[in-house]
Amino acid sequence: MSYRKAQQFVYFKDLKKGDIIKTNHLHPLHHVTAKLLESPKQGRGVKETILCEVHGSQLGLFDEAGSIYSKQALLKLNADETTWSRILHD
């Protein structure tokens, strides 16, 4: 009997400052890692853009801090630091 691994996911609004994510904002086919510098949920709702430190050196570019659109956040690094969870946007 085979068991199927449950798909892990996290909602965008549940991300926190300091979380490591993967984005596709520098290139649609190559994902780069980024560290969130602010929480997506502030005040009354969820932000459309989020400030993060992007590791562009993974694609031969510069490492910089800047804003990305929330829809470009794809994966979140789990606490075990080996697996990724998919980010769902509602």
Could you give the CA distance from residue 53 to residue 23 in angstroms, rounded to a whole number?
11
- Residue range 44-73, pLDDT digits in tens: 889 999 999 999 999 999 999 999 999 999
What are the C-alpha distances in Å from 85 to residues 8, 49, 52, 80? 5, 20, 18, 11
pTM for this model (two decimals): 0.84
